[in-house]
Chains A and B, each alone.
Chain A
Amino acid sequence: MTTLDTSAPATGKEAARAKFAGYFVGLSRWKIGEVLFWLALVGAYFVPDMNIILLGHILIWGLFAMSLDLLLGYRGIPSLGHAGFFGIGAYAAGFLGKYGWTEPISGLLFAMAIAGAVGLVTGRFVQRVHGVALLMVTLSLNLILYDAVHRATDVTGGDDGLQGIVIDPVLGLFRFDIFGKTAYWYALIVTFLLFLVARALVKSPFGLSLLGARENTRRMIMLGAPIERDVSFVFAISAALAGAAGALLTQTTQFVAPSALSFDRSADVLVILIIGGTARLYGAFIGAIIFLFMRDWLAALSPVYWYFWIGLLLVIVVSFFRRGVLPTLETLLQRLRAR
């Protein structure tokens, strides 16, 4: 990559190409804040009395919210049924573990593939509807899927959850322990790797064309961008990442029940993403950290009335961080720097 920057281009065409490539190199350069963010997650493990069980769950939620961010933040497609993909990944991993395929990493990839395939089909199916209609279609699909899983007690165990899931130690070495140590590392590494994929994607020409289609679909069509193919593609990627999050949950808890694909989860993930801020990837993680830490803290403090406080939190967030916490902080930081 560095050769592109140093070598002097001979022709105008090559110069344009180099400039183009240079733009993306600049775009994908790591900022100091990003490095610190991931180092902090590694460091958190070593902080005494840190609740890594909760933090592991937060990572999974963050990954899930990030998958929605690709769809909503980068392509402007809202979904009220994203838990469907999460649940498909979760159950795919669960069924594998139940019927003898107990190796976690291949199980995770398999779950991603299944969820991604369903996402591809769903993308095809819904690409012509937008806005509220899309919200309602995704919501209804989610509810139908939930009811089907909930009722099919013979296959899924229904409300009781899928019984008999066995997951081998990761790499044959690290057993999922009750202290949540393996679960945390496993979730952190998988989340980081999938984050890298998503990051590369949104910083690529493809990512830019998504943003373009979000801002002005008609112009992108006139530019010759394959909008429809892109929609089902981004749906597939997003669904695969959501499925990965679901599979992580199943594997780290060795349990899966219909709540994995409930409508509540779809709503929660949307709330998390909006709190954190869309089209940033990190917004998803910041949102998950804020929402879930606060929820856990408030629920422990006031088990009966914590709904009130979490509601107040949402009202405060939209009042003072109108576009989400992360974007507001970024603007604040820029202003301070400008001084």
Chain B
Amino acid sequence: MKRVLLASIAACVAMLPAGSLRAQESIKVGVLVSYSGMTSLGGQQTDAAIKLFQSKYGDAPGGHKIELIRRDTTGPNPEVAKRLVQEAVTRDKVQILLGPDFTPNTLAAAPIVTEAKVPTFVIGAATTGIIGEKSPYLTRTFFATPQLCKPLAPYAVKNNWKNVFVMVADFAPGHDCEKIFIDALKEAGGTLAGNLRIPTRNPEFSAYTQRIKDAKPDAVFIFMPLGELSLGSLRAMSDSGLKAAGVKIMGTGDITDESYVDAVGDAALDVITTGMYSTQHNSAMNKEFVAEYTKLNGASPRMGWGAIAAWDALRLVYDGLEAQKGAKFDPDKFMAFVRGRTFESPRGPITIDKGNGDIVQNVYIRRTEKVNGVLQNVEIETLANQSFK
């Protein structure tokens, strides 16, 4: 009993990390992502990527010592996110921001970062109409919805899956993706077998799979947010026998994200997705990145998009600060440096658009396969330099 008590006290103490030490002559970088709740994986990956980056490249690019301020946005919660950004900017005097994640949080924060001139890296929001429109200080190392929602329409038609059923989560990003995909499908000469919008709180898919069965499509295109809906929809496609009947399952890479594809299990096999990054990407840089990441953070939880978005944001932060070596930090010069920059990332070459600040990158068509017994998103086709529009 005593030992149990001691162990639980130790566990409690371990949950409280030590406060960060304050250093002088530093640049404060705010990291505003979701560390708790349903979306906590994003925060964990962001932290893991930062840890690896700093262990490799130090914590003082260009003589500016980086001081991280981490805050939990708790998920899509603009009230909290806006307040945290406000506090970070006015009280902590943060000069660069990673996050906040999620579109509503980013939109709520945009006026503040504009007024306070804080370069902000969007590492977890994909909606169009944010970057380059809401604030000149916003830039993105994540992806833009069209990059992932468009390409599968022509791909399906090319592979002769002409009659496609579209199933999206019933919220703003889902509606965006639905429209983009259906327009692209019509342009490519395919037909719409039907479309469904799934409530965002929905543990039960059987009614929807039955409707899809009734429509007899060649393929189904799925857009779901990370988490239970992705898991549930793929399981339902498989359990209902749709997949076994030869209906092709496609979707944006969220549905087979590495962080929980293991929990989806064999239902994820042979699913075709679009993605900006897979840990399987075949390049020397990526192999090194994955090996080091796994070595430092362990094999579980597996790395997903949260990590690569944070990694590339840090690349830009470090390069931008290096360029201002010995000088006082100037946010406008920093943004001018970041915009138009092209560099090699573990996901492939990426460019920050000079005019807009949004990301231009390769998009990959992937098939989920077992590699050495582990489910992986294997890239089967590369679409180079996809625009954010």
Contact = CB atoms under 8 A, between A and B. Distances in A.
User: Would A and B touch once assembled, by the CB under 8 A criterion?
Assistant: yes
B86 interface: yes
A153 B12 contact: no
Interface string B78-95: 110011001101110000
Contacts of A257: 76, 78-79, 104, 108
Interface residues of B, number: 44
Interface size class of A (residues with CB under 8 A): 35 or more
A254 B112 CA distance: 11
Interface in A48-103: 49, 51, 53-54, 57
A304 to B, nearest CB: 5
Given A161-B78, A303-B43, A151 B104 contact: no
A206 interface: no
A157 B172 CA distance: 7
B21 to A, nearest CB: 15
Contacts of B170: 150-151
Given A159-B104, A254-B111, A257-B104, A306 B175 contact: no
A223 interface: no
Nearest to A256: B78
A139 interface: no
B12 A308 contact: yes
B16 A302 contact: yes
Nearest to B36: A307
A32 interface: no
Interface in B183-205: 197, 199-201
A8 interface: no
Contacts of A309: 15
B171 A305 contact: no
Contacts of B112: 178
Nearest to B69: A300
Interface in A292-339: 299-309
Which of B40, B79, B86, B89 is packed against the most chain A CB atoms within 10 Å? B79
A307 to B, nearest CB: 6
Interface string B160-177: 000000000011110100
A180 B175 contact: no
B107 A255 contact: yes
Nearest to A177: B115
B35 A303 contact: yes
B15 A147 contact: no
Interface string B299-330: 00000000000000000000000000000000
A300 B83 contact: no
Given A51-B91, A304-B35, A57 B116 contact: no
A187 B197 CA distance: 39
A179 interface: yes
B77 interface: yes
Nearest to B106: A160
Please list the 7 inter-chain residue pairs (A to B) with the smallest Cβ-Cβ separation, ordered nearest first: A158-B172, A305-B15, A303-B35, A303-B72, A159-B172, A159-B171, A255-B108
18 contacts: A51-B87, A53-B86, A151-B171, A153-B172, A160-B127, A161-B104, A161-B107, A163-B107, A178-B89, A178-B116, A253-B83, A259-B77, A259-B78, A299-B72, A300-B71, A304-B15, A304-B36, A304-B44
Interface of A: 49, 51, 53-54, 57, 147, 150-151, 153, 157-161, 163, 178-180, 249, 253-255, 257, 259-260, 299-309
Given A180-B90, A303-B43, 6 more contacts: A147-B199, A161-B108, A254-B111, A255-B78, A304-B40, A307-B36
